[in-house]
Each structure stands twice: as structure tokens, then as C-alpha cells.
């Protein structure tokens, strides 16, 4: 283990940090999950980098523009700042899921493109890092990256059953996940 490398908490956006909305397409639909901002603040105070990684195929589907998605993320940043915290990084994939037999992008979860960009940018040790998500896609992403997978019961709560990936830990919400992660670290 390289002592110079940092640990991170990778967070999915919808259903983990903000309320799940089927294809959030407007900033006014954004609502923080109660306790998520405090959890992010606590994780950052514990010395962990907090990085949001989110699939946003609504852009490729034409449900919203990149400009609108950026406006959503600016609002998220403002809401977090109003509660005394911020994200260290925010990465998104605007591409469609891979269709049967098709070739997809490398950034869309469970691909590791967003994770690898953050790893390089922040000099992260993925083996010391955690990924908190609400889907089996998030769990598989964590496993592929070598991170500890934490599933939260908010959002989809793992009921998507897209993959058979099993998390290392299941928590009620991001606040409970932060409690557990801080005790581990």
C-alpha cells in the first residue's frame, strides 16, 4: 500500500445523495436526501475524498441537455455548500447503456472510466476506498475497482437486480454508511 495515496468515498448521485427521480431533467426536481450533506461533511472531516460518480443517460436519450445537467450539478453544489460541505469531485457519464452485442463507453458504470479519472486526479488508493450506491450496478463497479461496496436502502435499494453482485455492507442510508466507513477507516 502506497502511504502517499488517499482513500476516497465514491458516491452514486440518485438515490444516495439526492432523492431518486425517474430521469431527473430539471434542477427544480433536485432534493437532497435528509442527512446526506451532513454525511458528506463528516466523511470529508475524516480525511476522505468524496467523489460523486453518476450515469446520466438522460442526456443521450434527449431528456435533458448537458447544459441542464450542469445546472443540476451547480444546484447540488450550492445546496451542499449551504449545509457546510462540498464534493471533492463530480464525474458523470452521459452515454446510453450498451445494447446487446454493442460496444459501450468505458465511463458508464459498471465500467471504471469515471473511477480511473478520479484515481489519477486525486492519487487514490482504490483498495482503501469505498463505493456507496443503491444499485447492483454500483456494487459491481465497486468490486471491479477493488473498493469496498456499500449498498444503501434508499433509492433503488439493490432491487434493480441487474447484476448478482453482493455488497460488503448494507446500510439504511448515506448517514449510516458514513458512520460505518468512519469506524472502519
Alpha helices in the chain (DSSP H): 36-45, 66-82, 113-122, 136-145, 174-184
Q: What is the mean pLDDT of residues 38-44?
A: 98
Q: Is residue 129 part of a domain?
A: yes
pTM as predicted: 0.95
Q: Is residue 2 part of a domain?
A: no
Report the alpha-carbon distance of residue 157 to residue 128 in Å, rounded.
24
At 132 the pLDDT is 98
Report the alpha-carbon distance of residue 15 to residue 58 in Å, rounded.
16
Q: Is residue 3 part of a domain?
A: no
Q: Is residue 108 part of a domain?
A: yes
> What digits encode the pLDDT tens for the residues 62-95?
999 999 999 999 999 999 999 999 999 999 999 9
User: 171: closest CA among 88, 184, 105?
Assistant: 184
Report the alpha-carbon distance of residue 6 to residue 46 in Å, rounded.
12
Report the alpha-carbon distance of residue 131 to residue 129 in Å, rounded.
7
> Residues 12, 88, 125, 138: which is the catalytic one?
12
φ and ψ of 117, to 5 deg: -60, -45
Q: Is residue 14 part of a domain?
A: yes
Q: Is residue 176 part of a domain?
A: yes
Active site (annotated) includes residue 2: no
Number of domains in the chain: 1
Q: Is residue 128 part of a domain?
A: yes
- Can you give the residue range of the structural domain that contains 157? 8-184
User: What is the gyration radius of the CA atoms in the chain, in angstroms?
Assistant: 15
> Residues 2, 14, 173, 179: which is the catalytic one?
14
Report the alpha-carbon distance of residue 20 to residue 24 in Å, rounded.
8
CB-CB contact of 69 with 90 (8 Å): no
Active site (annotated) includes residue 14: yes
- CATH number at 51 reads 3.40.50.1000
> What digits encode the pLDDT tens for the residues 138-174?
999 999 999 999 999 999 999 999 999 999 999 999 9
High-pLDDT (> 70) share of the chain, %: 95
CB-CB contact of 155 with 16 (8 Å): yes
Q: Is residue 84 part of a domain?
A: yes
DSSP letter, residue 32: B
Amino acid at each position: 500500500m502506497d502511504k502517499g495515496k488517499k482513500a476516497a468515498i465514491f458516491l452514486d448521485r440518485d438515490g444516495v445523495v439526492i432523492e431518486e427521480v425517474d430521469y431527473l431533467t430539471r434542477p427544480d426536481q433536485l432534493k437532497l436526501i435528509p442527512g446526506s450533506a451532513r454525511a458528506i461533511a463528516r466523511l470529508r472531516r475524516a480525511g476522505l475524498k468524496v467523489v460523486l460518480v453518476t450515469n446520466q443517460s438522460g442526456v443521450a436519450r434527449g431528456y435533458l441537455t448537458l447544459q441542464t445537467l450542469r445546472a443540476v450539478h451547480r444546484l447540488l453544489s450550492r445546496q451542499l455548500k449551504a449545509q457546510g460541505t462540498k464534493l471533492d469531485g463530480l464525474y458523470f457519464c452521459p452515454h446510453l447503456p450498451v445494447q446487446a452485442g454493442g460496444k459501450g463507453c468505458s465511463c458508464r458504470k459498471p465500467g471504471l472510466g469515471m473511477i480511473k479519472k478520479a484515481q489519477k486526479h486525486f492519487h487514490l488508493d482504490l483498495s482503501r476506498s469505498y463505493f456507496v450506491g443503491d444499485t447492483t450496478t454500483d456494487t459491481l463497479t465497486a468490486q471491479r475497482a477493488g473498493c469496498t461496496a456499500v449498498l444503501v436502502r434508499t433509492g433503488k435499494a439493490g432491487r434493480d437486480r441487474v447484476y448478482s453482485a453482493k455488497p460488503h455492507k448494507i446500510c439504511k442510508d448515506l448517514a449510516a454508511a458514513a458512520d460505518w466507513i468512519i469506524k472502519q477507516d
